[in-house]
Structure 1
Amino acid sequence: MTATMIKEFRLPDLGEGLTESEILSWKVDVGDTVSLNQVIAEVETAKAVVELPSPFAGVIKELHEQPGSVVEVGKPIVSFEVADDAGAPPSVPAGTPGAGSAETVAETPKREPNLVGYGAVVEGSGRPTRRARNFAPVVEPVETRPAEPRPPVVEPVETRPAERPRSTPPVRKLAKDLGLDLAQVPGTGPGGLITREDVQEFSGHAEQPATQQRGAVSPAGARPGERETRTPIKGVRKHTAAAMVQSAFTAPHATEFLTVDVTPSLELLAKLKTSREFAGIKLTPLTLAAKALLIALGRNPALNSRWDEENQEIVTFNYVNLGIAAATPRGLTVPNIKDADALPFPRLAQELTALAETARAGKTTPAELSGGTISITNIGVFGIDAGTPILNPGEAAILGLGAVRTMPWEYRGEVALRQVLTLSLSFDHRLVDGEQGSRFLADVGAILAEPGMVLTMV
């Protein structure tokens, strides 16, 4: 008979020094047999939703936390019953950088289970091996063994839904606010998706109170008769609030505005959409603005820098990780395109589209949210002309893109209807002087007003 032992898996630091995560759903149940690296849970950090793989092959003995629980890094979340010779994943200090890093591990004569991307120890001469790592580090599981054999105990089987009902985050929040179990709500959307209307109808909230019918404003998710709604501050909203406060009170913001005639840029976009090179590629004013920003940075590198307070240095980046502010069901996120300055224009357009789709689906990874050097926020999609964007922490500048309006405009000595938009540039005045910020904004505006100006800049 194979000897077994109980091993606990503690919530790992999923990157960027995050201190807690929320258990969204379990993909396994007590008694299930799982394989190494099988996805066992979906957790939400302050930045992204992450699938958590199993560090062991064995049987699920106990789930220590329930969906909806906010768990601190290092706390046990699941126990496994594994074979006595199964070994343990390599010990990795909490807080070690995740994706893209590597570690040195001395080889032993046996293979040991690991999380996705860690690889396994290979039999060999005992020399240290370098291993690429694509997942966040884990806290070494605590191994516990009974002091002496005990008779088997029949444990009650916990019953709960094996799979989370299909719905969107706002709908799940509405159901939670109304005190409803989504598993009881029939879904009428595509593929059985539970919609907001399904939740409201199930709760009887579809019949609005008289005060609301008369035009009173009632927040989404409020119960009939309630005068206020309270929502816990957690997840992306909590992280965004902390980041914005940090940015606003550590970096002295300055904001400049420039209104430009972008009719030539829109005409260029129309031509590109019919070309073979851009077939099937989505092109928008944001696409051109992103390319204009990258070109302007080459002439104004101060805006692609960071203030290092600890070392009292200004760090100027020789690459551009371009952040795009994205409104998602979970809140505001700013994923970035790595080395965007090295991408040809068609590839940049594809990356922008993929970034937006991933963000809307809530699948942005922590790695995609870290390491940005400068950002764009497209407030024009909401019909807003201009604003004063707050810097993403650690970045020197952020460019705001307003709505494109048809307006009377001076054109070749006469007044004509032209396509016009306003650019808003906020920058850290410790890093960027007014002259540098103005020249950068003027360069971006010149490219959008007349794309042919690029020939004089590169």
Structure 2
Amino acid sequence: MSQVFTLPDVGEGLTEADILAWKVSEGDQVTVNQVLVEIETAKSVVELPSPFAGTVQEIMVAEGETVEVGTPIIAVATSDDAPAGATDPGYTGSAPEDGLADEPVPEVQRAEEDITSGSGTSLDSAGGKALVGSGPKADPVRRRRRTRVGMRTDAEAPQGLSQSGAAAPETGAEPGAARKQGWADRLSRTGIGSAAVDLAEKAGKIRDRSETWWKSLDEPTEQPPATASIPRRPNLAKPPVRKAAKEMGIDLADVRATGDGGQVTKRDLLAYAAHMREVEGGPDTFWSATAQPADVREERIPVKGVRKATARNMVKSAFSAPHVSIFVDVDATRTMEFVKRLKESPHFEGVKVTPLLILARAVIWAAARNPQVNATWTDTEIVIKRYMNLGIAAATPRGLLVPNIKDAQDLSLRELAIALHELTQTARAGRTQPGDMQGGTLSITNIGALGIDTGTPIINPGEAAIVAFGTIKQKPWVVDGDVVPRWITTLGGSFDHRVVDGDLSARFMADVARILEEPALLLD
């Protein structure tokens, strides 16, 4: 019977979704839990698995369309609808043109086919014609003893096979009882199996290779052109930068190096990646010619999915929650030293450690000392959360996502590092689930990854605070009356003034800065 699959509610109370990409086509065979389609909701991209096994009859909604929950999107014919008498895909049905077209079928073999066909006999008593539906079926699967074909002598040749390898006719076979058969059936019945096929293929390759070699001796050697192009030498870069460039698919030879000795720094790589995302074809191919019409020189992008939800939430937050922002410069030299020690520690082997890890732990520590920043405003009360679902803003090709780490306060430093890495990788790959986007209590945006010093971030709806982490770079800094180079960063924080007063926001930001200046305070 035909089963119709409707767009489900993925469990987050959403009313509609966009069809991003179909993973199957009409006529494809599908199994239970096989991914049918990729949809984009207002929160994330979700893959929908098939609840049925069968054949895809009809795809009812095209890619790019927006449909409501409950709309039929695909029809699947279950196994009950499969057509009867389908040909076995392993049966070839005819012999190759250069093979033996006709050969007598041994009586023993014909009797075996009659038995396996399930019809008792394959011929009627009147004219010797095959009965309808009683034609030959594929050989039953049976295990044969393996033999080394190459080591057989003439006396050991399999029954029904001549010395030359061709099937020998049975002496008692009737002259008119012949039919065409495929190579798969012929090899299966003669007992050669896949070993003979592999041996023949290897022999053919060796023959072709030897013929090519002999021909090459008679032909003049072709000299390479004198003006062969010299391959470009990639720019110098440290191993972490090279690894990141490989993962991003970027050739370091294309990146402008600004580091010492012509090295490509992480900032150079990220700046190049950001530029390529904005202008994939480069600046020379972006601008349109002046003579072209205005509609050709403009690009219109439909607002839907994650972008539509982000716009709605940002407007709601900016015009409903009165924002107050404060900033603080921090000497993060000891944080950088602490990160270096963690990377060298055997306990953190294979774990990605960055300054963002220390900031995340500092935010958790400071929120415990100033609980009202980890709260939600309602018109009747302020709800203080005694748990931390720490949100991390992640830029993705489909827009800004803020998934969160559930109960981050219970994680060790190593567990928090693993959770941060998995969260960002999942978000950038577009695999964040809607449940990971809900229930956030406080967020961090790492704008320093793009070389930005600081900013005034907008609070995620339902929260009361967000911290912006600026870039860390060496600057002159006064230490005990002396000007020395230190690793300096700037923290920016935005707070809902209905929940957090000025003094509370200042104390919270000061506590976060204290941890970055001295990570050893986390041991208290």
Query: Does structure 1 residue 59 correspond to structure 2 residue 55?
Result: yes
2:504 pairs with 1:442: no
Letter in 1 for 2:302: P
| Structure 1 residue 206, shift from structure 2 partner | 11
| DSSP 3-state at the match of 2:492 | strand
The aligned counterpart of 1:341 is 409
1:222-276 deviation line (CA, Å, top 9, x unaligned): 9999332111111211111111001111111111101111111111111111111
Confirm whether residue 238 of structure 1 aligns to residue 238 of structure 2.
no
- What is the CA-CA distance between 1:330 and the residue it aligns to? 1.2
Contact 2:474 2:487 in 1 (8 A): yes
Aligned to 1:176: none
Amino acid at match of 2:407: D
Amino acid at match of 2:60: H
Q: Bigger radius of gyration, 1 or 2?
A: 2
Does residue 120 of structure 2 align to residue 50 of structure 1?
Answer: no
**2:366, 2:511 within 8 Å by CA — same for their partners in 1?**
yes
The structure-2 alpha-carbon separation of the partners of 1:58 and 1:315, relative to structure 1 and needing over 3 Å to count, comes to same
Q: Which residue of 2 aligns with 1:396?
A: 464
Confirm whether residue 76 of structure 1 aligns to residue 90 of structure 2: no
CA distance in 1, matches of 2:405, 2:495: 20
The answer (yes or no) to whether the contact 2:358–2:519 under 8 Å persists in 1 is no
Correspondence for 2:347 among 267, 277, 282:
277
Displacement after TM superposition at 1:216 (Å): 8.4
**For 1:68-217, what aligned pairs fall within 5 Å after superposition?**
68-82=64-78
1:317 and 2:385 correspond: yes
Q: Secondary structure of 1:346's partner?
A: helix
Alpha-carbon distance in 2 for matches of 1:70, 1:348: 37
Q: Secondary structure at the match of 2:8?
A: coil
1:377 shift after superposition: 0.2
Output the CA distance in 2 between the equivalents of 1:302 and 1:83: 58
What is the aligned partner in structure 2 of residue 417 from structure 1? 485
For residue 378 of structure 1, what is the aligned residue in structure 2? 446
**Mapped partners of 1:450, 1:440: distance in 2:** 16
For 2:327, give the aligned amino acid: F
CA, structure 1 residues 253+224, in 2 after alignment: closer, same or farther (shift >3 Å)?
Answer: closer
Per-residue Cα deviation, 1:113-168 (whole angstroms, up to 9, x for no partner): xxxxxxxxxxxxxxxxxxxxxxxxxxxxxxxxxxxxxxxxxxxxxxxxxxxxxxxx
What displacement does 1:409 show?
Answer: 1.1
After TM superposition, give the deviation of residue 207 of structure 1 in Å.
9.9
The one of 327, 336, 345 equivalent to 1:257 is 327
Q: Whole-Å Cα distance in 1 between the matches of residues 419 and 488 of structure 2?
A: 26
- 2:466/2:494 contact within 8 Å kept: yes
Q: What percent identity do the matched residue pairs reach? A: 53
Cα shift at 1:83: 7.3
Given the two structures, how large is their TM-score scaled by the length of structure 1? Answer: 0.67
- Per-residue CA deviation, residues 384-435 of structure 1 (Å, 9 max, x unaligned), is 1111000011011000001112111111222111111110010111111111
- The reply on whether 1:350 has 2:418 as its aligned counterpart is yes
Inter-CA distance 306–27: structure 2 relative to 1 (3 Å threshold):
same
Alpha-carbon offset, residue 372 of structure 1: 0.9
What is the Cα deviation at residue 279 of structure 1?
1.2
Q: Secondary structure of the equivalent of 2:51? A: coil
Q: 1:218 to 1:340 in 2, by over 3 A?
A: farther
Following the alignment from structure 1 to structure 2, what is the Cα–Cα distance between the partners of residues 304 and 206? Answer: 40
Between 1:29-38 and 1:369-378, the stretch displaced more is 29-38
2:31 aligned with 1:35: yes
In the alignment, residue 412 of structure 2 is paired with which amino acid?
P
The code of the aligned residue for 1:396 comes to: A
**In structure 1, C-alpha distance between the alignment counterparts of 2:406 and 2:510, rounded to whole Å:** 25
Can you list the C-alpha shifts for 1:325-356, whole angstroms capped at 9, x where unaligned?
A: 00111111111111111000011011111111
TM-score of the two chains, using structure 2 as the length reference: 0.58
- Where 1:371 maps in the other structure, the secondary structure is coil
Which residue is 1:136 aligned to? none
Structure-2 separation of matches of 1:315 and 1:287: 27
Alpha-carbon offset, residue 321 of structure 1 = 0.7
Other-structure match for 1:89:
none
Find the aligned partners of 2:350 and 2:35 in 1 and give their Cα distance: 34
Identify, as 1 or 2, the structure richer in helix. Answer: 2
**Greater Cα offset, 437-446 or 64-73:** 64-73
Amino acid aligned to 2:42: A
Q: Write out the 4+ residue segments of structure 1 that deviate beyond 4 Å after TM superposition.
A: 82-85, 205-208, 215-219, 222-225
Give the distance between the partners of 1:371 and 1:385, measured in 2 at CA.
Answer: 29
RMSD of aligned alpha carbons? 2.9
Distance 1:324 1:207 in 2: 30
Higher strand share: 1
Match in the other structure for 1:366: 434
Q: Aligned-pair distance for 1:298?
A: 0.9
Q: 2:308 aligns to what SS in structure 1?
A: helix
TM-fit CA distance, 1:299: 0.5
Deviation at 1:53, TM superposition (A): 1.3
Q: Deviations over 1:361-396 (max 9, x none)?
A: 111111111111110001111111111000011011
